[in-house]
Amino acid sequence: MSDAAHRGLFLAFEGGEGAGKSTQVRLLTEELAGRGRAVRATFEPGDTPAGTVVRQLLLDRADLALSPRAEALLYAADRAQHVDAVLRPALAAGEVVVTDRYVDSSLAYQGAGRAIPREEVAALSRWATGGLVPDLTVLLDLPPVTGLARARGRAAADRMEAESLEFHERVRATFRELAAAEPHRYLVLDATLPADDLAAAIRARVAALLDPALPR
């Protein structure tokens, strides 16, 4: 159980650049809303007024030098506000909450990518979230060379997309390690598959969590 007080379902989507998280979040929320479920799609960093400012510092200001620890603290600040202002209220109201990125992204990007000890990032994240853990994390796994080509083909690279291939390889390895450590709480999918195939697999897993009697 991710949080004893909440009545909703908390789903997180994780993966490297270009993995298709935003597409799958959209498809799932449309599906759930069509079934009459109260559902909230959200994202990190930036889905609060304060978070918008933090996102600009983290991703949009390529000219702004940030130390690894400063970067980790900014992500934690965004997440703390996100949990208090968006996630916990929606979950308490019984909604299905679907977030594009959560704690695993910090463990992968700031932990492995920036070489900050993972337990330090984990402790910071636990404090920022008050221990709120997703009921299910969907990991869209994609080779970084493929994901970066997708991401960089859409627009100018942000601060993370501009990092080296080696950086993104470390990020991918950490996502996979986290999923392997808790297989009951993860759905790992090959993000090279067609979007409709991925959506069907996600829909089936979420249906089982919401109501085993729902058609898969």
Q: Binding site for ATP: what residues are annotated?
A: 15-22
Q: Binding site: what residues are annotated?
A: 15-22
Residue 213 has pLDDT above 90, yes or no: no
- pLDDT at position 160 is 86
Contact 175, 187 (CB under 8 A): no
pTM value?
A: 0.92
Give the homologous superfamily in CATH for domain 9-210: P-loop containing nucleotide triphosphate hydrolases (3.40.50.300)
Q: 36-93, pLDDT tens digit by residue?
A: 999 999 999 999 999 999 999 998 776 788 999 999 999 999 999 999 999 999 999 9
The Cα–Cα gap between 184 and 193 comes to: 22
Cβ atoms within 10 Å, residue 195: 12
DSSP-based helix, strand, coil % in the chain, nearest 5: 55, 15, 30
